[in-house]
């Protein structure tokens, strides 16, 4: 039985799958958005709505703000859409500009407040439903973060808060200073990115020391009703039609297994790949990154399927490339 999303327990009627909007707006440059970009956005939204998706995931950096600008134009064209969907965005990354040596992470209060004002301006809306802090900032002052989030909530600019790419310890530190609960943790999880499973089954075994996924993160999120979201859940099409040239044997074998199970179930490989995540009892919410209407439509069966224990383990063991102890 597919699990109820923790978001529902907080009276947020989110769909089991969200659409990630990083692919909107063209290239990651400073060129303006075009009519073609807006057309692509409408088509992606329509495809998502047609399979029951009502949650859309953004970030202030996606295509340097152009993804949100495209969505802002969609809202202008279809103002009735706003109250029927859930908008999530992220802040906390400063993209590298000419003369810089790297992107940097910034959880300063001023950056968070300015970022949200930019998000709202580009989207052309008065509030966002959920704001995520994008990647952990080593220089973070949790009291400063808490003050910024309090201002955003009090001003009605953000209704709920969450994080992305954070461990249980990092969430606990922030939560100790913030009155508002963090209700989302968005992590890199997929049938190709399986360290989150390996971390659990390798406790008290030698391989555990080489696993980088932070111990206890999934368990903390489940205990605290924090929605676990998966970015990159389709593994960039590795198991659903992308060329497998030069891919390792475990990926090739897993792709073949996905195709076989899809045929047996009368569905698409995309739905099987997502169902592998969604069958997990943590009620993981995939955030699919494609804006191709055909690939979005191919995900339609994912929230209707539940893999058997054998299917789930067969896929996991195939992807990891070695048997369980």
Crossing angle for the helix pair 309-320 and 269-278, nearest 10 degrees? 100
- 59: its two tokens: 């970030």
End-to-end CA distance of the chain: 28
Name the strand (E) or helix (H) holding 160.
strand 158-164
Whether residue 250 contacts residue 195, with contact meaning beta carbons closer than 8 Å, is answered with no
Rounded CA separation 133/137 (Å):
9
Say which DSSP state 92 is in: -
Establish whether 62 is a catalytic residue. Answer: yes
Q: Which of 62, 177, 313, 316 is catalytic?
A: 62
DSSP string, 36-80: HHHHHHHHHHHHHHHTT--EEE--TTGGGGHHHHHHHHHHHH-GG
Give the CA angle between residues 16, 19, 20 to the nearest 5°: 130
Hey, is 225 helix, strand or coil?
Answer: coil
- Burial pattern 276-289, b for ≥16 Cβ within 10 A else e, equals bbbbbebbbbbbbb
Residues labelled catalytic: 62
């Amino acid at each position: 039985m597919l699990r109820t999303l923790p978001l529902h327990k907080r009276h947020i009627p989110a769909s089991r799958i969200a659409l990630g909007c990083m692919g909107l707006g063209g290239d990651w440059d400073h060129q303006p958005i075009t009519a073609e970009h807006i057309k692509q956005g409408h088509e992606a939204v329509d495809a998502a709505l047609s399979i029951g998706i009502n949650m859309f995931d953004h970030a202030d950096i996606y295509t340097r703000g152009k993804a949100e600008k495209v969505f802002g134009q969609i809202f202008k064209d279809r103002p009735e859409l706003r109250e029927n969907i859930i908008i999530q965005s992220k802040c906390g990354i400063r993209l590298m500009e000419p003369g810089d040596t790297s992107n940097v992470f910034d959880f300063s209060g001023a950056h968070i407040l300015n970022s949200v004002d930019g998000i709202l301006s580009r989207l052309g809306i008065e509030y966002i439903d959920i704001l995520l802090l994008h990647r952990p900032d080593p220089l973070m002052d949790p009291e400063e973060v808490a003050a910024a989030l309090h201002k955003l909530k009090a001003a009605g600019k953000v209704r709920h808060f969450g994080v992305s790419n954070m461990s249980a310890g990092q969430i606990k530190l922030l939560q100790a200073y913030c009155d508002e609960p963090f209700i989302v943790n968005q992590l890199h999880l997929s049938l190709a990115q399986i360290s989150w499973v390996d971390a659990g089954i390798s406790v008290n075994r030698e391989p555990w020391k080489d696993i980088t996924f932070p111990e206890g993160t999934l368990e903390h999120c489940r205990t605290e009703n924090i929605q676990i979201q998966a970015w990159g859940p389709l593994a960039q099409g590795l198991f659903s039609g992308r060329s497998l040239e030069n891919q390792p044997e475990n990926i090739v074998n897993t792709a073949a297994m996905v195709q076989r199970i899809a045929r047996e179930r009368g569905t698409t490989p995309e739905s099987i790949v997502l169902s592998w995540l969604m069958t997990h009892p943590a009620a993981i919410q995939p955030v699919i990154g494609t804006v191709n209407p055909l690939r979005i439509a191919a995900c339609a069966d994912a929230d209707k399927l539940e893999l058997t224990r054998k299917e789930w383990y067969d896929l996991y063991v195939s992807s990891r490339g070695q048997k369980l102890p």
